[in-house]
Amino acid sequence: EPEVTQTPSHQVTQMGQEVILRCVPISNHLYFYWYRQILGQKVEFLVSFYNNEISEKSEIFDDQFSVERPDGSNFTLKIRSTKLEDSAMYFCASSPTGANVLTFGAGSRLTVL
Amino acid sequence: QKEVEQNSGPLSVPEGAIASLNCTYSDRGSQSFFWYRQYSGKSPELIMFIYSNGDKEDGRFTAQLNKASQYVSLLIRDSQPSDSATYLCAVNLVDTGFQKLVFGTGTRLLVSP
């Protein structure tokens, strides 16, 4: 069964460092998303991406966040200067249409020290 | 603030019983409703989605939607210990287009053998 692949599975970084989380969405999907889940809390929307541009973003997705689809297969989330409160599980998801029937990746756990 | 509310549980049921999980949402214009299952430390996995008032059945799972009451539920028949997980209700908010899901905090289900 097709799956969304995320790397790394766990990253530990120092506050203020840049982090790039990588995702390979399902190949025939057109819509890509990043969500995050702080430990013990709800899954929160960060950003959606379609046709090589951001289609929607949340208030969490401020100037320190960016997304990119550099090569037609990868979909990346960059956090420019990490803060302690960025520690969370980051989930990439994709869907074939904009109907939000999402397939999630296994997640990348980010720990900011 | 548009919200999705769920009882955090845990909801405890014996094996073979029916588990009933409930969710309310605040945005009357919401159009798409999703149930995800999340095992501890894992990513959300789509169980069902429902768009129209009434019931939708898929195997042991039945989703029920009542837009007038802003209420969506998930019934799990013949519950199994492997169904023990957190069940996330998610709603697509109409004023954000079709690009964003808002999740509830989830209901933890425990099925005892």
Instruction: Decide if B101 and A100 are in contact by the 8 Å CB cutoff.
Output: yes
Q: Is A43 on the interface with B (CB under 8 A)?
A: yes
Q: ∠ at Cα A100 (B43, B40), nearest 5°?
A: 15
Cα–Cα distance measured from residue B108 to residue B113, given in angstroms and rounded to the nearest whole number: 16
Instruction: Decide if A50 and B104 are in contact by the 8 Å CB cutoff.
Output: no
B99 pLDDT band, cuts 50/70/90, is low
Digit-coded pLDDT (tens) for A72-102: 789 999 999 999 999 999 999 999 887 678 9
Local structure of B105: helix, strand or coil: coil
Q: Which of B48, B100, B76 is nearest to A60 (CA)?
A: B100
Cα-Cα end-to-end distance for chain A: 36
Residue B58, judged by CB atoms within 10 A of its CB (0-12, 13-18, 19+), counts as exposed
Instruction: Decide if A56 and B43 are in contact by the 8 Å CB cutoff.
Output: no
Tokens 């309310």 belong to: B24
Instruction: Decide if B46 and A41 are in contact by the 8 Å CB cutoff.
Output: no
Residue B96 scores a pLDDT above 60 = no
Cα–Cα distance measured from residue B53 to residue B64, given in angstroms and rounded to the nearest whole number: 7
Percent of chain B with pLDDT over 90: 81
Q: How many residues does chain A have?
A: 113
In Å, how far is A60's CA from the nearest CA of chain B?
13
Instruction: Decide if A43 and B103 are in contact by the 8 Å CB cutoff.
Output: yes
- For residue B104, give the chain A residue with the closest CA: A42
Digit-coded pLDDT (tens) for A41-72: 999 999 999 989 998 899 999 999 999 998 87
Q: Using CB atoms, which residue from B32, B44, B97 is nearest to A104?
A: B44
Residue B29 scores a pLDDT above 90 = no
Q: What stretch of H or E contains B58? A: strand B54-58
